[in-house]
Chains A and B, each alone.
Chain A
Amino acid sequence: MRHRVKGRKLSRTASHRKATMRALTMALVKEHRITTTVAKAKELRSFVEPIITRSKEDNLLNRRMVFSSLQNKETVKKLFAEIGPQSVDRPGGYTRVIKLGFRQGDGAEMAMIELVDFNDIKPEGKATKKKRTRRAGKSNTPTTTEAPKAEAAEDAADTAKAAE
């Protein structure tokens, strides 16, 4: 039985796993969007998200806590200067994982993981509606009209990004 077994081992020793997570985090903080295997992407969520939560409030304790899990000054600096402040309004869920298909060499399933706040996009009409209904009893009519316009603009921006 695999009751209460949390996380993936990723065929690594504990120290190797830790190093992998650090490396992935550094890459994600630097690039805002990285491509890796699905397993690593999903595992990375539970590693970076608490770190981003920490980096929302800039104080010495938080900086030390974040540094202790990353051991990299540049990354910590960027987290607190850029990523934390941008994510302040988001109650968790800073990352998005999208599956991309299977890698040529070994058939591993690949995924793209990105920081939601740095890659465009308010949720499209449909998603917004769904979220609304989940929150308590208020009427769920608003915001559907503004969605298509924003979406179009974002698509354009995205295509431009993709082109480079």
Chain B
Amino acid sequence: MAHPKRKTSKARRDKRRSHHAIADVTLAKCSNCGEMHRYHHACASCGYYRGRQVVNAANA
């Protein structure tokens, strides 16, 4: 069976991981309360989505 000839150096390991970062979530400003919320999601602080109240803020 094939075996690694050398230990992977820190540089090589870290270079491999340079693409592993998790992308930031894009947020939008709520048109009702000004808090930031996820796109295509109801606002977590006021429960508004697309200009109207869709859920009770408490259970959002």
Q: In the assembled complex, how far is the CB of residue B27 from the closest CB belonging to chain A, in whole angstroms? A: 12
Give Cα A101 to B37, complex, Å: 9
Does B38 have its Cβ within 8 Å of any Cβ on chain A?
A: yes
Contact among A99, A100, A124, A159 with B53 in the assembled complex (CB-CB below 8 Å): A159
Stretch of B3-11, B13-21, B43-51 with 4 or more beta carbons under 8 angstroms from chain A? B43-51
Give Cα A124 to B50, complex, Å: 9
Q: What is the number of residues of chain B that contact chain A, defined by CB distance less than 8 Å?
A: 17
**Number of inter-chain CB pairs below 8 Å:** 44
Contact among A100, A151, A162 with B41 in the assembled complex (CB-CB below 8 Å): A100
Give Cα A121 to B59, complex, Å: 21
Give Cα A101 to B40, complex, Å: 10
Q: Are A162 and B42 in contact (CB under 8 A)?
A: no
Does A36 have its Cβ within 8 Å of any Cβ on chain B?
A: no
Does A74 have its Cβ within 8 Å of any Cβ on chain B?
A: no
Seed contacts A101-B42, A159-B53; 9 additional CB < 8 Å A-B pairs:
A35-B59, A98-B41, A98-B42, A99-B38, A112-B42, A124-B52, A151-B51, A154-B52, A162-B53
A residues contacting B by CB (< 8 A) are: 35, 98-101, 112, 120-121, 124, 126-127, 151, 154-155, 158-159, 162-163
Can you give 12 A-B contacts (C-beta < 8 A)?
Answer: A98-B49, A98-B54, A99-B38, A100-B41, A112-B42, A121-B52, A124-B52, A127-B50, A151-B51, A151-B52, A158-B52, A162-B56
